[in-house]
C-alpha cells in the first residue's frame, strides 16, 4: 500500500512551458485535492475532485487545470508556466464523501521552479 504518490519529485520549467503533475492513490479514496505551499502562506487549495470525472475550483485555481479520468489518479496541468507558479505542490486524498471530519492523506510533494 503506497498511499499517495506524486510524479515528478522535482521539475524546472522555463516561462511559457507546460507540464502535468500526476497524483496517484491506492486507497480507493473518493476525494482528491491539489494544494500549493508557499513560504509564510501555508497550503492553499488549487482544485479538488469529489469523484471520478468531476472537478471543482479551490481558492487559487487560475493558471491551472485538472482532470480525474480514473478514480485513483488526479492530474494537475500548467498550460503556460509563470514564475509565480514556483512552489511546492501537494496532492491529498480522503476516504469518503468529503465529510468535514475526514483526515486527508498527503503525497510527498513536487517542487516546481519556473524560471
Minimum separation from the CB atom of position 74 to another protein (A): 14
- Residue (13 or 107) nearer to another protein, CB: 107
Distance CA 19, CA 13 (A): 8
Q: Measuring CA to CA, how many Å separate 37 from each of 12, 88, 94, 99, 112?
A: 17, 5, 19, 23, 11
- Residue (9 or 16) nearer to another protein, CB: 9
- Residue (48 or 74) nearer to another protein, CB: 48
Instruction: Establish if 101 lies at the interface with another protein (CB under 8 A).
Output: yes
Distance CA 88, CA 111 (A): 4
Contact status, residue 29 vs residue 93, Cβ threshold 8 Å = yes
> What is the 8-class DSSP label of residue 79?
S
Sites for another protein among residues 54-73 (CB under 8 A) = 56, 58
- Residue (14 or 99) nearer to another protein, CB: 99
Torsion over CA: 90, 95, 98, 104 (sign): negative
Residue from 34, 48, 64, 74 in contact with another protein (CB under 8 A): 48
| Residues near another protein (CB under 8 A) | 4, 31, 33, 40-45, 48, 50, 56, 58, 90, 92, 94, 98-109
Amino acid at each position: 500500500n503506497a498511499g499517495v504518490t506524486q510524479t515528478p519529485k522535482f521539475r524546472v520549467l522555463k516561462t511559457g512551458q507546460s507540464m502535468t503533475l500526476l497524483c496517484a492513490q491506492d486507497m480507493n479514496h473518493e476525494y482528491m485535492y491539489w494544494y500549493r505551499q508557499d513560504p509564510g502562506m501555508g497550503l492553499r487549495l488549487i482544485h479538488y475532485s469529489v469523484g471520478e470525472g468531476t472537478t471543482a475550483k479551490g481558492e487559487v485555481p487560475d493558471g491551472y487545470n485538472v482532470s480525474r479520468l480514473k478514480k485513483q489518479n488526479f492530474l494537475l496541468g500548467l498550460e503556460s508556466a509563470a514564475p509565480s507558479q514556483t512552489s511546492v505542490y501537494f496532492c491529498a486524498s480522503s476516504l469518503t464523501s468529503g465529510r468535514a471530519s475526514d483526515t486527508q492523506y498527503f503525497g510527498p510533494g513536487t517542487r516546481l521552479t519556473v524560471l
